Chains A and B, each alone.
Chain A
Amino acid sequence: MAATVDTKPTRRSAGRRLADLLHGHRRAQVGLLLAGPLGWLVIAYLGSLAVLFVAAFWQLDDFSGQIVHSYSLANFETLWEGQVYREIVLRTVGVAAAVTVTDAILAFPIAFYMAKVATPRARAALTVAVLMPLWASYLVKVYAWRTILNEDGILNWALGPFGLKGPGYGIVATWLVFSYLWLPYMVLPIYAGLERIPNSLLDASGDLGGKPGTTFRRVVLPMAFPAVAAGSIFTFSLTLGDYITPQLVSSKQFIGNVVYANVGVANNLPLAAAFATVPVVVMVVYLLVARRLGAFEQL
């Protein structure tokens, strides 16, 4: 009798036994926590990226239209020698740069107003007001611009009385729409960067005789520059990889369009994979430069 009382099992669930087992074993705890997420990201994601990279060295058999898993640099040669591809890369990078500059100019006044002029209440409201369009459906926003830029659209209707006409569909339209799409990505880091500049510095510049323009050029701009670089990572990278906007508001080819067409219509995955390395390389170089400019501290 007594024996059974003694060993009266406090029956413990598997979960509790596991918890007891792990108690004090910090390494095992981290291992268990990370097993799922890392397993997923390494296998499903990094694995896929590796496959993509390898695929860039495969070939498409011209006759059968099948992908041949043999390795050569032929795809990269095709891209390097093709005048068309070089033009497309230049066009894409050029528009990405133009978009970045445009967004920086558009973002500065509102970011400065939010950081230095607005009351805390207005500041919170403005932050939400800038964030919401960022999350509104990307596709619908591009589509809205397609409607606006349309021959019978609102832009021509508004400009008509002045004898002007909108840009219509084309390279200018892609620049405009990209600038629109990525603008919030520029506003928010610049706002955060400007907020970190102490007001006393600006006042000191004024007290020492600096005109507002001088203060802006010699104090605000240099201090806010890393934040601009941080925002430019988004405006630049997002433009490089996009193919839907060029497709919807222009007939020009961007890197993304060529990649997409080769995956889908031409079924030439190897060439697409090779071309997709271009934006990745450009971005890696861009990130290295941005890091030197101190952009990462502003993210």
Chain B
Amino acid sequence: MHLSRGTRWALRAGTALTLAFLYAPLIVIAIYAFNDRRTATWPPPGFTLDWFDKAFHNQGVRDALWTSVQAGIGATLIALALGTLAAFAVARYRFFGREAVSFLVILPIALPGIVTGMAMNSTFTQVLGVDLTLFTIIVGHATFCIVVVYNNVVARLRRTSASFEEASADLGAHTWQTFWFVTFPQLRSALVAGALLAFALSFDEVIVTTFTAGDRETLPIWILSNLSRPNQLPVVNVVGVVVILLSIIPVYVAQRITSDPVTSPGAVAAGPPP
């Protein structure tokens, strides 16, 4: 397309500015993680690795990390099972209410997190009368993680033809052989990508978690409750950097191993709910 030289340069400048805007805060926080003072003055007067050591040996951080990992794994496993089943039904069958199923899967991520969180909170505390524990965190996380697995598997199933499965059956394989030797290998990378995204989503979630965690602390909740303690700030910086890396790396890997465009909001709000 023909654009004048000036327009091209203006577009380049706009692009660079937006990218700088997107990355500047992440870079700033990464620099502060090495700040050798407790106060967040800019520019940092000196640099140190001490806070990484302190964060590593901080019992609160360790407990929160462990809770986050457990919650992430639990939610991911549930989301993998439920998301894959729903994806098969929607992608391979026609039935009444099919649109409603995909709408229902997306709903937990489309409604504001505070609504989802409060709804779960009132059910747990007012109706079921259960204590808020790791289990309730997992239930909450699994509910909004289903959509990322679902999106990945549906996208993959739509790209692969059911005729492979028919061929396998014609050649005498029974249902499970077909699933194991034909369907599953085609799905494998979509499942891995879905699982990574689900884990990243769970690992990072804070709003729904504040309503379902009780006195358990996930890593984001630990950060939230330590923001107001000035002498903890250096450790918060370090934990922040670690959390950013732990949520960005799975997404990067997921992006690399699958060519399905499922990490974009274009694929129906697959972004993380804040």
Contacts and interface: CB of A to CB of B under 8 A. Distances in A.
Interface of A: 15-16, 19-20, 22-23, 26-27, 29-30, 33-34, 36-38, 40-42, 44-49, 51-52, 55, 67, 106-110, 112-114, 116-117, 126-141, 143-148, 150, 152-154, 157, 180-181, 183-185, 187-189, 192, 199, 202-203, 206, 212, 231, 234, 237-238, 240-244, 248, 256, 259-260, 263, 269, 272-273, 276, 279-280, 283, 298-299
A48 B40 contact: no
16 contacts: A27-B95, A29-B93, A34-B85, A37-B86, A41-B143, A45-B116, A48-B120, A67-B126, A129-B19, A144-B26, A153-B42, A185-B271, A212-B3, A234-B265, A276-B118, A283-B112
- Choose among A130, A141, A144, A256 the residue with the greatest number of B CB atoms under 10 Å from its CB: A144
Q: Is the interface of B mostly helix, strand, loop or mixed?
A: helix
B211 interface: yes
Interface string B108-124: 10111111101111110
Given A41-B82, A113-B11, A269-B122, 18 more contacts: A23-B175, A38-B104, A48-B119, A51-B126, A67-B126, A110-B14, A135-B200, A135-B263, A138-B272, A139-B240, A140-B240, A144-B28, A237-B110, A241-B207, A259-B114, A263-B118, A276-B118, A299-B269
Given A137-B240, A147-B32, A188 B123 contact: no
Interface stretch (B157-165, B187-195, B220-228): B220-228
B243 A187 contact: no
Contacts of A203: 1-2
Contacts of A139: 204, 206, 220, 223-224, 240, 243
Give the top 8 A-B pairs by smallest Cβ distance, nearest first: A241-B112, A109-B14, A19-B175, A144-B25, A48-B119, A37-B86, A140-B240, A33-B89
Interface size range of chain B in the complex: 35 or more
Contact of A15 (B127, B146, B176): B176
B45 to A, nearest CB: 12
A113 B142 CA distance: 37
B271 A106 contact: no
B115 A279 contact: yes
Contacts of B146: 37, 40-41
- Choose among B89, B107, B119, B146 the residue with the greatest number of A CB atoms under 10 Å from its CB: B119
B101 to A, nearest CB: 7
Contacts of B224: 139, 244
Contact of A131 (B1, B32, B139, B255): B255
Contact of B206 (A52, A180, A244): A244
Contacts of B123: 44, 47-48, 51-52
A258 B123 CA distance: 20
A238 B112 contact: yes
Contacts of B143: 40-41, 44-45
A260 B210 CA distance: 10
Nearest to A207: B2
B66 to A, nearest CB: 18
Contact of B126 (A49, A153, A269): A269
B101 A34 contact: yes
Interface string B133-154: 0000001001100100000000
Contact of A51 (B119, B223, B248): B119
B12 interface: yes
B85 A187 contact: no
A136 B244 contact: yes
A33 B78 CA distance: 14
A126 B146 CA distance: 28
B59 interface: no
B48 interface: no
Given A109-B14, A153-B40, A183-B18, A133 B227 contact: no
B72 interface: no
B174 interface: yes
B10 interface: yes
Contacts of A34: 85-86, 89, 101
Interface string B67-95: 00000000000100111011011000101
